[in-house]
Structures are given as structure tokens and as C-alpha cells.
Chains A and B, each alone.
Chain A
């Protein structure tokens, strides 16, 4: 059954050309990020004052920023930050969301009431202000950006998980598992979780895109990954100040962010379509 589920999903996914393109772009991006030390022509922090704000040329393929740092090198190393923050923060949000959502949905009662009220508060809180406030508490470090985005996005996963769990726990196989003496933990892990993973997988892919945007936005505001680390958002923010003289410092990181986010969205949409009949069957 499991083999046919994966094969069916993969076959449906591969029929979606835009989703496949999105996936390939992300694979290329990941390779570029991992191979940055070999692909980057310069150290991303190395300054060449004589080349400040220079246009694209053979020596600086995408130009140089206001400190004479190579933009291509900074983009390649910046990909590491974006992907690292994207994956780790989404992983954290997924973990917290599953914990809260499964507890609220399966246990119900007072646990559901308390967790649902906490989620209501988090959703009504202006997201950017919440993120900026948490960063102000923790301080400007990459690990704190991961924690902040993870905490702020956890409610989205918790809501999806809670809804799916409430639906899944009414199925007969859950009652059967209880009757044969399965513990609650076993029921949740072995029976409920596998049957609610389809919407979670789709949301995870889409959240990767929004996590990358969030990291870039926080860095753009000056409260995210601190300089001289080559965060794409910080590059857009600094590049903006010199746009009249040299727009490359803002344009190329902007293109990088857009391409990455678009690829994740295409992948997420493709996964949603591939998993759709299975999601309908699960609900």
C-alpha cells in the first residue's frame, strides 16, 4: 500500500511541469549553496574599495556593492543563510505545531480550549510586530531569527493539525485501536499522524517560502541576520540606498528571493495537486 501511495503521488507530481521546474530550481539552488566556497569567485566579506558600486563585468559578474564586495559571491553564500533559516525555522514551526495541534485535537476538552485561545491570540497579533519584538528580546543572531520565525509560524501548523486530528480521531480504525488496548501515544503516532500528513506536507513547502520571505524582511528592517553576513534581505536594504548610482546591489538579491520563493510555491502547488485525491480520501 505504502509503495503504491508513493508511486501514485510521484507519478501525479511528475506530470505537473511547473512543479517539476520549481523542484529542479531548488535542487540547483541547494547545490549552489553547498558548493558556494568553490563557485564564489571571492570571499563574500572581502572588500575592494576601488570597485565600489561597479556594474557587472568579467571580474565581477553581477557587480559590486557599496563596500566593493562581489555581489555574486554574496548571493551564493546568502543562499546558505536563506535555505538554512528557511528549513530550520519551518522544521521548528512544524514540530511545535504538531505538538500543539495533536494535543488540542486528540485530547480535546480543557487542553483544546487553552491551546485554541493561545492560537487565537497569536493570529490576532500583528505578525511583523511580534517577530520584531521577539528579535529585540533575543538579539540579532541567525539562530534567533530561526527561533522567532519558528515560533511565529507554529500556530499555522497547529491549526491545520488540530483540524485534521479532530476529523481523523472519529474514524473507526481509531476506535478499533483503542479497543485492542493501544495507548494514546501509539494511536497518535502510528494511526493519526500518517493520515494527517498530506495537508501538513503541502503547508510545509509553502511555509518554507514564507520563512525565507520573513528572514529577508527582518534583515531588510535591520533586526534579522546581522551584517556582514550576506543575507539577501539585508543586501536589498543596503542596495536600496545606492539605487540611483548602482541598482545591481538591490536587483540581483531581489531576483534571488523571488526565484526561490516562486520555486517553493510551484513545488507546494504541485504537491497539493498530487496529494489532492489522497487528502480528500483522508478527510
Chain B
């Protein structure tokens, strides 16, 4: 098992290096740079040349990449060209907000999606199954920005029971933090719930007609034990796979939700950094999110071993 984990970590390195090269090339191709953005109308050739030399932007692209990569290997992600703040510090400050949003969204998705999927499978072709199918399809068809917009309209503007935007740290004021995170978490969580509903229903339907489930019923076990201990446990593998994939998509989708609800996470940081041509910050965010995605996939693969003892790496 440890050899498998080590092998996966080693295999992830070329993927992460490839991502760093792609993002470096992309940010270098963006017209203009942070110098033109900073100087604006007041630019002169001298001022531009001085600032470019200061930021190292006068170096060839491969030199800039190697310098940056050398820094990454030493734990130094560089400095924001816009604010002068160390990239590492900015990420450490803002990543917890994104993580909190992702975790809360996953919780919403799991609490709504998994029981609904189980009920729909157990009561196949009933009204409950039909409602779950309609709701899950609708959830898949509603993009994040639409859900967010509609939730703000209903709960913040019409009913006035929740604040529309803003963020307060969890340690600063836990109650207000959770109030402010309800709408963003449900915005992302509804889409996740729809996906989990569909996958749980499909996985449970495959399992509940198996012989061992029939045997468990014949032994006189209660329906709850049959479903949760025997059926659901064996339906978990595809569900866990989808949860893992969704965690990766959530990390990508937070860009829009953080923008709608003015959350100070890394998604919004990346969007602002692209607009301001702040390359080190963009590179830092992309590397962080991609690394997290790779680690989440690894955790999912390790979970398989605990869910199904027949799986061995």
C-alpha cells in the first residue's frame, strides 16, 4: 500500500510540472503585463524598462520559468507583482476560505444526495423516484451562477432571512461565518447533490437485486440493516469515485461562487490576478489547486481498499 502511494506521488510530479509549464506559458502569452497595468496612462519607456528589470520580466521566458521552479522547490512561490505580498502567505490566508466552502458544499451534497438516491432506488418507479429524478436532472442543468443568483434573490432580497454577500472568519465569529456561508454552500452543494443522487440511485439499483441482498432478507434482517449494511456498503465504490471527482470540480467551480458572494478565497484571487497580469499569483493558485486535486484522487483510491477488501494495490 505504501509503495502504491509513493508510486502515485511520483507519477503526479510530471503532471504537476506539465501544469506549471502550461500556466507559465499561458500567463506569458497574455497581452500586456503587470507593468503596463500598474503604470497605466503614466507609462514611459524608461519607467517600463526599470520596472520590468525590477520584476525580472526582461529575462527570457525559460530563465523566468527555471528561476520560479527553483523557488518552488525551496518552498518559495515568489511575490505578488501587484501587492508585494508573498504568494505563499496569500495562499495560506485565502485557501482555508475555499476549503471551507468546498467542505460545506460537499456536506450539503452528501446529506441531500445520498439519502435521496437510496430512497429513489428502494422505491423505484414510485412518486419519490420520479421526484428525485426530476430534481437531480434539474440540479445538473442549473449552472452555479444561476443557482447563486436565484438563491440570493429568494433568501436575501425577497425573504431577507440571509445576508447576500460577505465573509467573516470562522474563528472571528462562527455563527455569522456559517450564516454567510449557507447560500454559497447550497449554490455549489445543489449541483453536487444532483450528481450524488443519480450515482447513488444507479449504484443501489445494481446492488439491491443481487443474491446476497436477497439472502440477507431471507435471514430475517431488518430492511434498514439490509439496505445500509449490505446494499449501500457495496454501492459505495462508484459513489466515492463521484464524490472525489466532484471535490475536484468544486475546487474549480469556486471561482464563480466566490465572485458572486464576494468570498476572499483562492478562486477569486486567481481571477483578479489574471486580470491584473499578476503571474506569480496565478501560477501559485493553479499549482495549489492542481496538487489538491491530485491528492484528493489519491485519497479516493486509498478509500477503495477500506470499502472493498478485495481491492489490493
Residues of chain A at the chain B interface (Cβ within 8 Å)? 117-118, 120-121, 124-130, 132-134, 136-137, 139, 209, 213, 216-217, 220-221, 233, 236-237, 239-240, 243-244, 247, 250-251, 254, 257-258, 261-262, 265-266
Contacts and interface: CB of A to CB of B under 8 A. Distances in A.
Contacts, number: 119
B274 A254 contact: no
B30 interface: yes
A139 B31 contact: yes
Contact of A233 (B15, B27, B145, B293): B145
B270 A258 contact: no
A126 B141 contact: no
Given A250-B153, A258-B146, A120 B30 contact: no
Interface of B: 14-16, 18-19, 22-23, 26-27, 29-31, 137-138, 140-146, 149-150, 152-153, 157, 249, 251-253, 255-256, 259-260, 267, 270-271, 274-275, 282, 285-286, 289-290, 293-294
A252 B302 CA distance: 45
- Prevailing SS type, chain B contact patch: helix
B149 A236 contact: yes
A133 B149 contact: no
A239 B146 CA distance: 11
A265 B140 contact: yes
B15 A247 contact: no
A209 B141 contact: yes
A126 B289 contact: yes
B141 A217 contact: no
Nearest to B253: A128
Given A217-B143, A254-B150, A262-B137, 8 more contacts: A117-B14, A126-B252, A126-B290, A129-B255, A130-B26, A133-B282, A216-B145, A243-B153
A124 B293 contact: yes
A243 B152 contact: yes
Give the dominant DSSP class at A's interface.
Answer: helix
B15 A257 contact: no
12 contacts: A117-B14, A121-B22, A124-B19, A126-B290, A132-B270, A137-B31, A213-B143, A216-B143, A236-B145, A243-B152, A250-B153, A265-B137
A240 B149 contact: yes
Nearest to A139: B31
B8 to A, nearest CB: 12
B143 A120 contact: no
A209 B137 CA distance: 13
B149 A217 contact: no
